[in-house]
Amino acid sequence: MFGKLLSYEVNDKEIKIQYEKIEATITVINDEVINFFVPLHRKERNSKAVENLNLRNSNFSVEKNENTLNIATEKLKIVINDDFKIDIYDKNEKVLCRDYRSIRHPFKRRGNGTELAAEEGHVLNGHQNFKVYVAKTMEDNMYFYGLGERTGSLNKKGYHYRNWNTDDPSPHGETFEQLYKSIPFLISIKDEEAFGIFFDNHFESHFDMGKENSEYYYFSAVGGNLDYYFIYGPEVKDVVNEYTNLTGKTPLPQLWTLGYQQCRWSYAPKERVMEIAKSFRERGIPCDTLYLDIDYMDDFRVFTWDNKKFENPREFTDELKNMGFKLVTIIDPGVKIDKEYSIYAEGIKNDYFAKDKDGIVYKNRVWPGDSVYPDFMNPKVRQWWAENQKIMIDSGVSGIWNDMNEPASFNGPLPDDVMFNDNGLEVTHKEIHNIYGHMMSKATYEGIKEYTNKRPFVITRACYAGTQKYSTVWTGDNQSTWEHLRMSIPMLMTLGLSGVSFCGTDVGGFGHDCTGELLSRWVQVGAFTPLFRNHSAMGTRDQEPWTFDKETEEINKKYIKLRYKLIPYLYDLMKECENTGAPIIRPLLFNYQNDKNTYEINDEFLCGDSILVSPVVEQGMKQKLVYLPKGTKWIDFWTGENHNGGQYIIKEAPLDTCPIFVKEASIIPMSIEQNYIGEKSNDELILNIYLSENDSEFKYVHYNDDGESFNYRNGIYNEYEITISNKENIDIKFIINKNDYINKYSKVKFIINNLKTNKNITLNGKKVNLENNAIEINL
Ligand code: MIG
């Protein structure tokens, strides 16, 4: 393809390689991360995912052999051949990733009489040809993970996926090759060693993990540059950390966003919203956030209110705030064509909308009828969109929900040649489709940040690699089916592995009618997912926790309350995520990579390091087969029973019981029960300690700050360090590492949940006596 390797030149971290037909560049980002770039489309890289390429120190060597160029870092050996064929080894010369040398050889699709079959509606794919195509040799024992929002199982080996953000409200199934989000990032584990490939190309792209031919896997795109990063582990954790060093970490959110959220298409008018708000408080079911879907607007004009339904928005949001509710409103990208409407008029005047190839403003149809599409590629448009957030913020709205930003359209898809203006560069829809939602979220984030000075809460449906910097995501229009509850678990774990830690599904399901049993099981999963939002579609039955029967209501209440108790733990996880990119809900393999039994577990997840959740995801099932990973013991959260790791157990799971296990030698911080964040003063820290059976020493660091501002970035936070040494005695050490946030805890309660010995217990060196296995101290 590129011909013979002729010469090379090293320039600091860059190695330019002259081939017969083109020049390629290799950049050593650090010892573990290497970028491979060939300007097939454009000379310069134009990444919207990687905003600053942060090159770190590494001592690498480059050496030319007869036909190859050999690059060595502390961790990797990279051999570059003719045609830009690349082989990568770890430092022990073990193969990690080798380019496939033979020609592409897809499996056969037999298609006699295909026309008739197509007429009946069968999709008859051929094997597509691509402008950018890289095939890697399938080694033995490979497992594949990541790729963002996907249906199907955790392990992607044998499947093919497409990146083209798509709004398809029909029931998502394993046959779906694409959904709303495009994250061209793949993780592979081979012999317990992991690496990642991030193909930073936002054209339509494809990943095929050996479906086409089991001898190779490939990534490809219909246009754009060849631009990919190889990211070495050897742990999946390291791969995710480095990937999020490139594309950005999920920032610490406001505390209230971790509470329970209730949504519906649509709560309106105001009286209906107040009725919902009162119901939560009367029934004592905690809830922090209510949503307004598209019907709050004046005929779907974004940044307006329907004053018949919501006479005085500010008064209304104040009333909600007094009851402890935050309001999030939906904003779609489509702007209604209406000369009298200021947003449209301003956009037209300033040339802010995408145009067709002849330079005429492009229109399609969405909720407001005929509409135009803001050109989010243009920095001026993003600035304008950011300023528009002020309209919502001034009405007392606390967060913004961005929907329909694939972008979706009712009147057929946007043509490839709709034109956008990327800071002076003319780009087509074909090129930027997959980053439209990403750029919209960026604008929304920046506006909210500017006008509130708080950590913005944005929730988006479409996204690209790196959107996690700006927005949380939900997985779009699922259905109230058991299949979709089951599917949500690998889907959310996969999003987490792909950098998008703050994610959730519509709890209870969006389309179709939910049942009490399904909602009861769904809320048991939702209680542990970072974004915990119940949502349902227009025309479906009511789905609030109390709208089925008493039992369903009680189960919802139980798990929502548990969620609120766990918020300090979840907040600590979000803080960890901001530092390391580690997802909140994660597949077992993330922590137990040396236990192969975890590689294909789809119906369990870890919430942080300490909690394993194995929810029931089948109708009628009252027992659950639970796998407990090797190397540690697991304590049943409900009964305190101890189990060895490395085995399957059967856990009794009546409808009100979600199987939950705590890793031994853990500390889980909890808070008192409240109906919403900030209802009660947060002055007591409750530390739940789970001892190990054998001697051990373990540590936990708990973080606390004002829960809303950016002051923590200037050091305004508190940090507590708890160390437990469980040997001859049980020695608890409690230290305040940092004490700069003014609202401090005044009390700490230590609870030893599984105290089975009569060892002496000391706290900071002094012998103490427990009462009901607990001791409380004043600070
Ligand atoms: O096509 O705004 O996924 O959450 O309730 C429907 C109405 C448009 C799709 C979103 C859904 C939302 C709905 N929207």
- Give the DSSP H/E element, type plus range, for residue 261: strand 260-262
Strand order in the sheet with 774-778: 666-670, 684-690, 747-752, 774-778
**549 belongs to the catalytic site:** no
- Ligand 1 nearest atom to the CA of residue 330, by list position: 2
Quote the ligand 1 centre to 179 CA distance (angstroms).
14
Sequence-distant (6+) residues with CB within 8 A of 250 are 244, 468, 469, 472, 499, 500, 501, 502, 574, 577, 578, 581
Ligand 1 geometric centre to CA of 284 (Å): 29
Handedness of CA 526, 527, 530, 534 (dihedral sign): positive
pLDDT digits (tens, 9 = 90+) for 132-173: 999 999 998 999 999 999 999 999 999 999 999 999 999 999
Pocket test for ligand 1, best of 149, 265, 406, 531 (most atoms within 8 A of CB): 265
Whether 664 lines ligand 1, by a CB cut-off of 6 Å, is no
**Residue 265 near ligand 1, beta carbon < 6 Å:** yes
Ligand 1 center from residue 138 Cα (angstroms): 40
Q: Is the torsion defined by CA of 379, 384, 390, 391 positive or negative?
A: negative
Three-state SS for 470? coil
Name the residue of 172, 180, 267, 293 to mutate for ligand 1: max ligand atoms within 8 A of Cβ: 293
Unique residue bearing structure tokens 């703050």: 502
Secondary structure (3-state) at 145: strand
Secondary structure (3-state) at 614: coil
Which among 413, 50, 407, 18 is positioned nearest to 228, based on CA atoms?
50
pLDDT for 109 equals 80
Q: What domains lie within the chain, and their CATH numbers?
A: 5-247 (2.60.40.1760), 256-331+380-416+423-572 (3.20.20.80), 683-778 (2.60.40.1180)
Q: Is 533 in the pocket of ligand 1 (CB under 6 A)?
A: no
| Interval between CA 246 and ligand 1 midpoint (Å) | 31
Sequence-separated (6 or more) residues with CB below 8 Å from residue 308: 269
406 in catalytic set: yes
Pocket test for ligand 1, best of 167, 266, 294, 477 (most atoms within 8 A of CB): 477
Q: How far is the CA of 492 from the centre of ligand 1 (A)?
A: 19
At 23, is the secondary structure helix, strand, or coil? strand
Verify whether residue 595 is a known catalytic residue: no
Does any ligand 1 atom lie closer than 6 A to the CB of residue 461? Answer: yes
**180 close to ligand 1 (CB < 6 Angstrom):** no
How many C-beta atoms lie closer than 10 Å to residue 12's C-beta?
8
Token representation of residue 47: 């990444």
The ligand 1 atom nearest the CA atom of 506 = 4
294 lines ligand 1 (CB under 6 A): yes
From the CA of 537, give the closest atom in ligand 1.
Answer: 5
pLDDT < 50: residue spans in the chain: none
Amino acid 643 reads: H
Strand partners, 137: 216
Nearest-CA residue for atom 12 of ligand 1 = 265
User: One of 208, 477, 576, 578 is an active-site residue; which one?
Assistant: 477
Whether the Cβ atoms of residue 31 and residue 44 lie closer than 8 Å to each other = no
Which one is catalytic: 149, 204, 403, 431? 403
Q: Are 504 and 529 in contact (CB under 8 A)?
A: yes
**Which residue CA neighbors atom 5 of ligand 1 most closely?**
265
Helix and strand numbers (H, E) in the chain are 13, 50
544 lines ligand 1 (CB under 6 A): no
297 CA from centroid of ligand 1 (Å): 14
SS3 for 442-458 is HHHHHHHHHHHCECCCE
DSSP 39-81: -SS-SS---SS-SS--------EEEE-SS-EEEE-SSEEEEE-
CA 403 to centroid of ligand 1, rounded, Å: 7
Q: Which atom of ligand 1 is nearest to the CA of 266?
A: 5
Distance (Å, whole) CA 695 – CA 693? 7
Q: 10 Å Cβ neighbour count for 696?
A: 14
pLDDT at position 119: 75
Q: Is the dihedral of CA 147, 151, 156, 159 positive or negative?
A: negative
**Beta strand extents in 275-423 (DSSP E only):** 289-292, 326-331, 335-336, 363-366, 369-372, 399-402, 419-422
C-alpha 192/C-alpha 94 separation (Å) is: 12
Supply the pLDDT for residue 114.
Answer: 65
Beta strands in 335-488 (DSSP E): 335-336, 363-366, 369-372, 399-402, 419-422, 425-428, 458-460, 463-464, 472-474
* pTM over 0.85, yes/no: yes
The two tokens of residue 77 are: 């050996």
Q: Quick one: angle between helices 550-565 and 516-526, nearest 10?
A: 0
How far apart are the C-alpha atoms of 312 and 302, rounded to whole Å?
A: 17
CA 165-170-175 angle, 5° bins: 70
Q: Which two tokens stand for residue 206?
A: 């494809």
Three-state DSSP class for residue 496 = helix
User: Is any atom of ligand 1 closer than 6 Å to the C-beta of 553?
Assistant: no
Distance 452 CA to ligand 1 centre (A): 26
Which atom of ligand 1 is nearest to 477's Cα? 3
